[in-house]
Amino acid sequence: MNVMPEIVNRRSVRTYTDREVTDEQVALLIEAARLAPSGSNTQPWDFLVVRSREMKEKISKADHDQKWMMQAPVFIVCVGNLKYRDDGDMERVIRDSAIATEHILLQAEHMGLATCWTGWYTQEEMRAALGLNERCYVAGVVTVGYTDHKPSPVSRRRIEYPVL
Amino acid sequence: MNVMPEIVNRRSVRTYTDREVTDEQVALLIEAARLAPSGSNTQPWDFLVVRSREMKEKISKADHDQKWMMQAPVFIVCVGNLKYRDDGDMERVIRDSAIATEHILLQAEHMGLATCWTGWYTQEEMRAALGLNERCYVAGVVTVGYTDHKPSPVSRRRIEYPVL
């Protein structure tokens, strides 16, 4: 038994081809996110799909002006939102919206799509770019597309764990 | 193309059989977590593997005294740790440790193992139970084992998303 291929083969891809991503593909990525677990099944997440040049520019500028992002035909913005939790617990909102975001990345890999989870922004600036209020946490802006330059694996440290 | 089976078939399982989970299986689950993406590749996570009755009791008591947890042969405690980030950004530590934790759940499903991501505790109480300092965020206590009672899917709300 091995580690599942979607986990092993996923990369942070920052070079995309011109090939389009269909609405049906995007819907399947968001369906994968929708099935994520969350605390008390609160599902404290919203998604924005971004295809217009204008919005992609606004978002990538707020995302440390990473020019490479403009190559990707689609961005999916993953937003944790306190409106789904009565207890005001933003830590759990962040946790759960991260789970849903990662489902998008793994499902994309499963479908042969390339992604990068970007997060090089302040919440203040990204919320302003997106018109979101301060009860929102932008967990990630995920670029989605096709690549012909899949990078090598990034190195990871060894993990030692106690058995208690 | 469909949503990947590990995402579709994963459940929060609260009934376990006596069947053991091997050290090799646990190592593979943690390997899946190790391969998770993280901001600037900081990998801000640590894991504790819990097998002893004594520690399982201590942890499940801190986890809202959920008695069913004691059925699971193994707990994996997933801990975000600020020691891996110089900037003191706990929000990103929570985000990243949640990603790694979800890799454990999906990899377990891939291996035919059942899990439940539990988090019905205060950070203060769980840190005390585990002897962790306040720079740690316990992202989840994951029960791991085998089940013969896989629950039906939990309902999810419809997601509507704007295309910008």
Residue by residue, pLDDT tens for chain B (164 residues) are 799 999 999 999 999 999 999 999 999 999 999 999 999 999 999 999 999 999 999 999 999 999 999 999 999 999 999 999 999 999 999 999 999 999 999 999 999 999 999 999 999 999 999 999 999 999 999 999 999 999 999 999 999 999 99
Which residue of A102, A109, A123, A132 is the best one to mutate when testing the B interface, meaning the one whose CB has the most B CBs within 10 A? Answer: A102
Residue contact A156–B99, C-beta within 8 A: no
Taking the CA of residue A18 and the nearest CA in chain B, the distance in Å comes to 19
Structure tokens at B80: 């975000």
B contacts of A31 (beta carbons < 8 Å) = 3
What are A32-88's pLDDT values in tens digits? 999 999 999 999 999 999 999 999 999 999 999 999 999 999 999 999 999 999 999
B144 vs B22: CA distance, rounded Å: 11
Taking the CA of residue B140 and the nearest CA in chain A, the distance in Å comes to 10
B contacts of A106 (beta carbons < 8 Å) = 4, 7, 106
A57-65 own/partner pairs: CB under 8 Å, 24+ apart: A58/A129, A59/A126, A59/A129, A59/A130, A59/A141, A61/A129, A62/A121, A62/A125, A62/A126, A62/A128, A62/A129, A63/A118, A63/A119, A63/A120, A63/A121, A63/A126, A63/A141, A64/A120, A64/A121
Q: Percent of chain A, pLDDT > 90?
A: 99
**How many interchain CB pairs under 8 A, A with B?**
155
Taking the CA of residue B125 and the nearest CA in chain A, the distance in Å comes to 16
B115 vs B112: CA distance, rounded Å: 10
CA–CA distances in Å: residue A42 to residues A33, A101, B147: 13, 15, 25
Residue contact B28–A107, C-beta within 8 A: no
A contacts of B32 (beta carbons < 8 Å) = 3-4, 7
Task: Judge whether residue A138 has pLDDT over 90.
Answer: yes
Smallest Cβ–Cβ distance between B117 and the set A31, A37, A98 belongs to A37
- Class of the domain covering B21-145: alpha beta
pLDDT-based confidence at residue A1 (cuts at 50, 70, 90)? confident
Smallest Cβ–Cβ distance between B55 and the set A47, A101, A164 belongs to A164
Does the structure's ipTM exceed the value 0.90?
yes
The single residue listed with the structure tokens 């600020």 is: B82
Residue contact A4–B1, C-beta within 8 A: no
SS3 sequence, chain A?
A: CCCCHHHHHCCECCCCCCCCCCHHHHHHHHHHHHCCCCHHHCCCEEEEEECCHHHHHHHHHHCCCCHHHHHCCEEEEEEEEHHHCCCCCHHHHHHHHHHHHHHHHHHHHHCCCEEEEECCCCHHHHHHHHCCCCCEEEEEEEEEECCCCCCCCCCCCCCCCCEC
B88 vs B84: CA distance, rounded Å: 9
Q: What's the pLDDT at B1?
A: 79
Q: What's the pLDDT at B162?
A: 98
The single residue listed with the structure tokens 């306190």 is: A82
Nearest by Cα to B113 from B3, B28, B2, B4:
B28
Q: What are the phi and psi torsion angles at B74 (to 5°)?
A: -140, 140
pLDDT-based confidence at residue A126 (cuts at 50, 70, 90)? very high
- Beta partners for B49? A163, B76
Structure tokens at B113: 């193992």
Q: What's the pLDDT at B67?
A: 98
Strand order in the sheet with A45-50: A45-50, A74-81, A136-145, A114-118
Residue B43, by phi and psi: left (phi above 0), alpha (psi -120 to 50) or beta? left
Residue contact A102–B102, C-beta within 8 A: yes
Taking the CA of residue A9 and the nearest CA in chain B, the distance in Å comes to 10
Residue contact A96–B98, C-beta within 8 A: yes
Residue contact A164–B43, C-beta within 8 A: no
Structure tokens at A117: 């989870």
The pTM score is 0.98
